[in-house]
Amino acid sequence: MTYQNRIHPNVPGVDQSDRTVPVNLRQSGPTPVQLLISTRVRKSPFWHLSIEAGAWRATVYNRMYHPRAYARPEDGGAMAEYRALVNGVTLWNVAVERQICVKGPDAEDFVNTVITRDATKIAPMHGKYCILCNDKGGILNDPVLLRLAEDEFWFSISDSDLMLWLQGVNTPRRWDVEINELDVAPLQVQGPLSEDLMADLIGDEVLDLPYYGMMETEIEGCPVVISQTGFSGEKGYEVYVRNATETAEPVWYAVRGIGARYGLRVIAPGHHRRIAAGILSWGQDMDSETSPFQVNLAYQVPRKKTADYIGKAALERQRTQIEAGHYPFELKLVGLKMGGLPITDYAPDFWLVCDEGETRCGYVTSPWYSPDLGQNIALAYVPWGKSTIGTRLKVELPEMYQETSGKSVDAIVSEVPFVPSAHPSAREQRKAG
């Protein structure tokens, strides 16, 4: 066998000619390795508490260790965690969502320059889901943006080094602001019983919070910020623990203590539910070479924002091209309903999508089995010409999920969200603002 035959090609049949660095489509399958725990990657203040709660698997997110499984496969695995999320209440360690603070007299103007939405419309003690783009219109991050005061914003970031970007934008100092990471670590309390738990924990005033509303309070004498937000598509809250290096333990145990009355379960972030809700994951469904117009985030690019912002010229140019019927991208993110045996764990690869003639043309980013629909669902990139709802495709699932060995499964482009969110203005909605 020659060396050339031994290497694993990056599936050249899928057109990624509009990318500088193509998405890695090598199909390596599960690769058993041991995660090295070292001082090079940060442990969150909740890391040891997650281990105590049974975390047995982790990944790295924002250069921090991130627990990704608590229920063992023999105890139901991720689907047991899913049932706890949609039927009860769950606690998530999401300290990896680092909090980057922009504070100072020019904070609003600076933030308005780096996000595509209008920061002037965010009132103090309220937040919004937003995106930040580079000058080519590529998505750099999609944080929840919290406004603590007229002159203070927190970016609750997804998986990229946003602080370095923000500091770079303000070098040399054009805005009178300080940009720093805070000693704040968030937890999420998610599920239909989360409202009852939080009212029991901190009082009935939490019941008056609107979606993306915020409040300052204390848990066990420790200062926290509460927002009615989350990554699940279910009712839920985020608890931003201040001075987390010192206060992580009392807050964690207080939530678990009160939560025991409601059957609280510590779980990993519910990616199966967020896929059903159409909530995107940065680095998986999009990255810095992805335009918001490719991933159903056009509502994040409001026409009425008059202020200039980074990426505005490129995004408006893309909008004009699309409205004229000329698509500046090869692929578009769509929802797929597909066959196959139930997908009950994280996909180790971007599985390949084919047209009905079995020609590879795209790839799956986020697949899972939906108990609500009784079938597999996924987010996937396909050519624009094959992105219309109702288009029939094929997906090359791994052997363990194939209904017939060696055969791709049927798929159909479907409306997203697959299962609506519990929130009236959640991340997946496509309304400009």
**Known binding-site positions for substrate:** 238
- End-to-end alpha carbon distance in the chain: 58
Which residues fall within 8 angstroms of residue 217, CB to CB, at 6 or more apart?
202, 203, 205, 206, 223, 224, 226
Which is nearest to 59 in space by CA: 269, 214, 201?
Answer: 269
Give the C-alpha separation, 416 to 389, whole Å.
10
Give the C-alpha separation, 95 to 91, whole Å.
12
Give the C-alpha separation, 125 to 414, whole Å.
37
Give the C-alpha separation, 212 to 128, whole Å.
6
Give the C-alpha separation, 338 to 376, whole Å.
5
Long-range contacts, stretch 209-214, CB < 8 angstroms, 24+ apart: 209/237, 210/126, 211/423, 211/424, 211/425, 211/426, 212/126, 212/127, 212/128, 212/129, 212/144, 212/425, 213/125, 213/126, 213/127, 214/125, 214/126, 214/127, 214/146, 214/148
H, E, C per residue of 365-415: EEEEEECCCCEEEEEEEEEHHHCCCCCEEEEECCHHHCCCCCCCEEEEEEC
Give the C-alpha separation, 82 to 290, whole Å.
29
**Residues that constitute the known binding site:** 238
Give the C-alpha separation, 362 to 394, whole Å.
10
Looking up tokens 């203005």 gives 425
Looking up tokens 């009935």 gives 204
Q: At what angle do helices 162-169 and 107-114 cross, to 10 degrees?
A: 110
Q: Which two tokens stand for residue 235?
A: 């009712």
